[in-house]
Chain A
C-alpha cells in the first residue's frame, strides 16, 4: 500500500455546482482496519475478474496521472512548454521549427508502426491547439498539413478496416484531428514555400543583382546560414506537400490517380534525400551535439525538440498505457517513409489486372516486400471499392472470367443468391489478403469452411435454379455454367488452403519435428490444386476448341495438340518436392530417430489435429486424416528410390519450364530455387544413403565422429551432410546441417537462406 501522504486537493479540477472535494482518507483507514489480508469488499457485479482491471492509484506502473508533468494543455502552455515564436532570436527560431518538423516525422513513423496517435504525433503541443500557431506562418502551415495528412491516413485505414489488431491506429478520440481550415493547408503551405524560395534566391543572387530583390526580408539573421536554412526548410515543406498530394491522388476512384501519385511519390523520395543531406549542416550548427551520431536522435540536428509532451494525452485516450513509448529515431523515421513510398509506388505501378488470378498473384508478390499497415490499407481500398474490383468490375464479371465461363454466358445475368454469396466470399478473400500475415493466416483458415459450404450450396442451387430457368436458357449452357463455376470454386479453395499452409512457414509456426506432416499436407493439397487447375484449363480449352473446330470435332486432334499448361507443370514441381521432402524426413525419422517428438502429454496425432484442424473441418482434402499420413509415412525407408526420383523429376520439369516463363522474372527465380532445392537434396540423400550403408550396427554410425558439431564422421573423413527444406513456400529455404546424434535436435544450426542465388 502506498505511503500515506497528505496531498493538497488540486484546484485545477474545480468542484461542481452540487459537488465539493472532501478528504476521505480517515474513512478508508478505518475501513481497512476491519479487513484481513485477502478480503475484498465488493458489489455483486464486481468479481475477482473485474478487479483485475483495477488500477492502483499512485503506482507509477499503472496510474497514468502520476507520470504527468502538467494537468492540462493550457497549463503546459502557461508554463512555457510551447512558446510562439520559439525564440526571439530568429535564427534559433528557424532551427527549433526544423527540430519540430523532424521530430514529427519520427513520431509519424512511430504511429504508422503501431503506436497510438495520441502518444506520437499528438504529443506535439502545437498541434493540440490549432489556433495558437496562427501568428507563426511557417509553423502554422506545417501543423495544418500534418493534421490533414494524419486525417487522410486515418480515413484510408478506417475504410479498409478488417483488422482489429490495428485498431489502435485509428483511435483519434479527443484529438483535434480536424482543425478549422486544415483543408486549406496546401495553399498556406504553398505560400510559405514561395516565400522561402524567394529568400533562397535572394541570398544566392550576386551582390550586383541583389538590389532587385532587396525588399525581401531574409529568413533569419545570420547571412552565412541563410542559404542552408532555406534549403533545409524547403525540402521539408515540399516533402509534406508531395506526400499529401500523393495520398490524395491514390484515393481517386478506380485507380485514376495512380499515375499522378507516382510523380508525387518520386518527388517525395527526392525531397527525403535532400532532408537527409541537410543533416550535416543542421548537426554542425547545433554546437557540439554531433559527436555521438544519430542512432537515437529524433531530429536531424540532434537537438531535443521544443513543445512535445507525450503524457499530456494520457487523460484523453483511455487505451494509452502509462508507460512512455520509444519514438523511432530520425534516421529510422526517414527510412520508414522511404520504404512506405517504395511500397506505394509498387501499388501505383500496378496495371489493375482484370483477371482474378493476376490480382492474387500481385497481392502475394506485394506481401514479399512486407508492407506495413498504411501501404496494405491503400492496397485494399484500391482493390475493393463499392463492392467491385477496383470500384470498376462487378464481382460476377470477375468470377466469370476466373471460372472461364464461355463468352456467351458472360453477358447472361444469373440472379442467384448463392452466387451473390460467392461474390462476397471473393471480396472477403481479397480483403483478408491485404492484412498482415499473422492475421491473414487465421482468417484464411476460417474462410476455408465458407468456401466449402458455398461449393455445396452452389451444387444444390444450380440444380434447382436450372430447372426453373431451363425454359429460357439452353439446358446445355446451364450445365456448363455449373461445371465451370464449381471447378473454379474448388480450385480457389485449394489455393486458399495452400496459402494457409505456406504462411505457416513465414510465421515460423512449424517446428522441425512437424515438417514431415506439414510437407505431407502440402503434398496432398497441391495435388488437388493441380487437378482442379488442370481441369479448369481443360474445360475452357475444350469449349474454345469446340467452337473453333465445330465442323471437324475430332477428339484425336484435341488430344494431339494438347499439352499440359506450364502453370500446372509448375504445381507438379511443387508436388514432387513436397513428396520427396515428406519421404526423406519420414525415412530419417523411421531409421535414425531424428525429428521424433515425444512429449509426455500427447502424441503426433494431437499435434497433427491441432495444426490442420481447420483444414480437416472443411474436408480439405476429402478423406485425408492423420491415419492417411501415418500410413503413407510409417514404412518409408531411405533406400526407397521414389524420393530421389521425385527430386530429379522436380529438377527436370523446372528446367523445362524455363522457356515458358522467360518473360516472368519472379517465376524464373522460383524455378531456380526449385532446381536448387531438388539438386541439393538429391545429393544429400545420396550421401546419407551411402553413409548409412557403411554404418556399423544399428544407429551406431550416427553417434560416431564429431556428431555434436554437426559434422558426420565417416570412413572417408569428415563430411557434412545438409538437407534443404523450405522455410517459406516457395520463396526461401532453410539449410540444415545434419547432426546425426539422434537426440532430435536435427536443426541445431539452422540458418535461413532467403536467397539461394548466392
Chain B
C-alpha cells in the first residue's frame, strides 16, 4: 500500500508571521492523535492506526508537525529504506490545514524531512501525487522533483498519479566537493549516521 499525498497551497485565510509557526519533530504517542486528525480531515484514503504507527515508530526522525499558537496545522510522515538496490526516502503523507496554506508551511515540512533523508544517506526521494493536484506538483517541482512516471488510474477515484522523484547529487561527487569546501568537517559525521541506520 502506498498512501496518497496531498498538499494544496494557494488559498489563504489566516494572516500570520512566518515566525509564528513552530516546527517540531515527532515526539511520541501524544503527537499521534494530532497527525491522525489532520490526515483524516484532509485525505480521502482510510488509514488504520497501524499505518501511522508503521511510519512514526520506525522513522520518527522523518516526521514533523507544524504548530500555530499551540494548534497543529500541518504534518509530514515519511519513511526510508532499500528499494531495488537504492536507498530511498519516501514521503507518505503531507497535510496543511486549508486556512494555513500558501504560507510555505508545506515547503518547510518537506524540506526538513528531505534534509534528514539526505543526511541519512538516501540517494533519492520519491512520492506520488495526483495529476490534478497542481499545488503539490508546483511545490515539489520547486524543490527539484521531476515527474518520473505517470501511474494510470492510481487512486481509487480513477485519477492518474505522477511518481515524483528527487535525485540527490552522487555521494562521491557530493562529498568530494564538500571535502574541498569544508575540509572534511561533516564527512565523518554523515558516514556515521548512515552506519547507524544500517545496523
Contacts and interface: CB of A to CB of B under 8 A. Distances in A.
A55 B29 contact: no
Contacts of B153: 114, 165
Interface string A407-437: 0000000000000000000000000000011
Chain B interface mostly helix, strand, loop or mixed?
A: mixed
Nearest to B53: A48
B151 A438 contact: yes
Nearest to A56: B48
Interface string B144-155: 111111111100
Contact of A508 (B144, B148, B150, B168): B150
Chain A facing B: main interface SS: loop
A436 B148 contact: no
A226 to B, nearest CB: 42
Interface in B35-66: 46, 48-51, 53-54, 57-58
A607 interface: yes
B116 interface: no
Contacts of B165: 610
Contacts of A436: 152
Contacts of A599: 142-145, 166
B146 A38 contact: no
A436 B142 CA distance: 29
Given A165-B153, A601-B166, A52 B141 contact: no
A52 B92 CA distance: 13
A405 to B, nearest CB: 38
B1 interface: yes
Contacts of B167: 602, 606-607, 609-610
Interface string A45-68: 000110111111001011000000
A438 B150 contact: yes
Contacts of B151: 165, 438
B147 A48 contact: no
B160 interface: yes
A601 B168 contact: yes
A602 B53 contact: no
Nearest to B149: A442
Contacts of B145: 599
A611 B142 CA distance: 17
Contacts of B54: 48-49, 51-52
Contacts of A114: 153, 158
A661 interface: no
User: Contact size class for A?
Assistant: 35 or more
Contact of B169 (A48, A439, A605): A605
A606 B169 contact: yes
B1 to A, nearest CB: 6
B181 interface: no
A602 B29 contact: no
A600 interface: yes
B53 A321 contact: no
A611 B46 contact: no
Contact of A52 (B48, B144, B149, B168): B48
B143 A601 contact: yes
A98 to B, nearest CB: 28
A347 B85 CA distance: 43
A662 B51 CA distance: 61
Contacts of B190: none
Contacts of B156: 321, 323
Interface string B165-180: 1111100000000000
Given A40-B53, A55-B48, A442-B149, 15 more contacts: A52-B50, A52-B54, A114-B153, A438-B160, A439-B152, A509-B147, A509-B162, A597-B144, A599-B142, A599-B144, A600-B143, A601-B166, A601-B168, A602-B166, A602-B167
